[in-house]
Structure 1
């Protein structure tokens, strides 16, 4: 709609200028003819006096029409400028709202994905093999737990690894010993995921940590989820240890920011991002700044919106959470260059 308004404004302006120019030309010719007529009437003397009056009147009419044409040009130009500005503002409003909707969609998709991770960790923490490995520790029970974790990983390819740690924070089993060597026996007692998982009030509770790199998993970026493994798998059972699951963040997040529903032209103009609550870049469609850039986002205390900053539009939306997963205050954010054809948008 905004594009149509701008195109109409430019076309009306072009046609008006063209037609007023033609009127101007005709009136100049009329003025010349009137002048010639007066000269010829003067030569004719008394016989041409009546025609001289007509010629004079023609000159006055031509002048009046030229004056009206100038006023028309000025009036149309003023209104066309207003129409162009209104169309430009509509273009900015439409684009800003669209990008804000797409930003919200991106953060909603990742939160729905991560909600499933919170379900996974609570479910797997009640698995019989995990319970036995902690309730009756030993090589055999640890091996069974490890085999079970490996089986889970073959089906759930979004994880890098799954760990079981005892109540002292020592890893006793994990799902990929062939890839990540040296994990068994690792002391995780000072790691956030372990401490928050052990502090879960019941089997219904879980902990989620912001995106970090895990040195034991090749330095990969992970979203870590954890919960306590409880005696008998009971909701209120004694804490025997903790389960930590490590979501393979980079490829999953990249698929989301690169899959946002932009047109081909829009994609070239836009940078799509997932930002942490502190505006740290967690994912970006251009692959830049991951985990080390803080994007200068000015939300104005709004949950969703857009604003213009120089030659860019910045659109954003804060996570609404999903089901029992409230999210970590992340934002979907899209930075778009401004198409010069939109005008100044009232700036």
Structure 2
């Protein structure tokens, strides 16, 4: 029974943290930015869930994750010290949905690569582990028989699992088995109209919608370069304040991310890797940030503060818009 419930946890994990943190079918860069905006992730997730459920119902079957909802706790180790996730079904709707629909409670354990090595050496691995797809520990565990064949498990417990065949083949071990489920992956099977086409960027913009409404603008306005600029300018010109503090229009300066939002591509039409810093959109991004800085829409300490200081400002409500990797724990 635990094997079945554990596989359900792996399936559910695709919605939050996957077995490996990868970044595409043929890349070896560990992710430093989020995969997409929360809205995009939620929309794709709901679309996939609905498609799987409808397919199962059409075949007169119950989706695999609903076949056994007896309570169980899964120990999940994440090899990133910065990962602060706490499973909280009381206050987190995603956690509540997972627990209610599957019976699973996740015990999240965080650490670093050294802690993962210690777990491997001790032979005391938890139920699920997450780490970089390019980490040496992946093959170490696979070659030592320390992890389970996901293909065999899915055939037995979750035949409706929808994972691109190209992912299975790309990460397949030399023994012919598939052990690693990867996030941030886009294979040819997902680059179709059904799944929304290509995802050009792996970066996010966060905005306080209450302040956006206060300046008379909408999310739709932020989808253009000038609309993005105009929103920041209004925040400054109208001297917006929150809890006695002057609102900071923007925090986060990521020229690569902004260049992608301006249309820069990581590959040419033939699939060859391109240096993004040599593309015209990268220069456009630098000039755009320069414009924001000269007009006081980016503060001087943006270039000297660390991530903790940025997170504190966001958490205080002082920031109108944030770009890049943010630990946004508060609404």
TM superposition score normalised by structure 2: 0.18
Greater share of residues in strand? 1
TM superposition score normalised by structure 1: 0.17
Greater share of residues in helix? 1
